[in-house]
């Protein structure tokens, strides 16, 4: 008899906890929906930038492109990957390796004064081999 009572009580608690969890999930979904709607409004909005009318999406794309082209920015690789993903141009492993080698070479050139010359030459050789591999494929 003790077992039946315990099962009933724990079953009630499980139902209550399940209901609370469901309410939290609904609240989280509603919050994400509201956030998505607000962000879409910002992306669709028209703003003045450098004397031109641009949408929020245009401004976002321009800033993402600036980050991707800035070798000094630590997020440039992720920005390039995101651009490739969004535009449907997923990078091949070879392109990925070449991109990483070019960024490493740019960083090495930036710190050339603190790095020995042979390290710079080694990175340049790696990049040359990757470029040659890319031409052959």
Residue 89 — pLDDT band, cuts 50, 70, 90?
A: confident
Same domain as 50, residue 34: no
If you average pLDDT over residues 125-129, what whole number do you get? 75
Each residue's pLDDT tens digit, 9-46: 677 777 788 888 888 999 999 999 999 999 899 889 99
Same domain as 64, residue 96: no
Higher-confidence residue of 11 and 114: namely 11
The total number of structural domains in the chain stands at: 3
If you average pLDDT over residues 69-82, what whole number do you get? 84
Higher-confidence residue of 52 and 7: namely 52
Same domain as 114, residue 82: no
Against a cut of 0.95, is the pTM above it? no
Residue 25 belongs to what domain range?
1-42
pLDDT on residue 110 = 64
Same domain as 98, residue 116: yes
In whole angstroms, give the CA distance from residue 128 to residue 95: 13
In the numeric block, which tokens belong to residue 67? 């980050």
Q: Which of 2-16, 40-54, 65-79, 84-98 has the lowest mean pLDDT?
A: 2-16
In contact, 130 and 93? CB cutoff 8 Å: no
Same domain as 110, residue 74: no
In whole angstroms, give the CA distance from residue 127 to residue 34: 46
Nearest to 55 by CA among 70, 67, 39, 42: 42
Average pLDDT, whole number, for the chain? 78
């Amino acid at each position: 008899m003790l077992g039946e009572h315990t099962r009933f009580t724990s079953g009630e608690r499980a139902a209550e906890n399940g209901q609370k969890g469901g309410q939290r999930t609904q609240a989280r979904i509603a919050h994400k929906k509201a956030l998505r709607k607000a962000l879409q409004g910002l992306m669709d909005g028209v703003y003045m930038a450098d004397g031109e009318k641009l949408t929020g999406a245009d401004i976002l794309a321009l800033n993402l492109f600036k980050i991707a082209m800035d070798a000094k920015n630590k997020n440039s690789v992720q920005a390039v990957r995101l651009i490739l993903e969004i535009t449907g141009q997923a990078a091949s492993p070879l392109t990925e390796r070449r991109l990483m080698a070019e960024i490493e070479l740019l960083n090495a050139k930036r710190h050339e004064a603190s790095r020995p010359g042979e390290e710079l030459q080694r990175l340049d050789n790696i990049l040359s081999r990757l470029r040659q591999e890319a031409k052959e494929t």
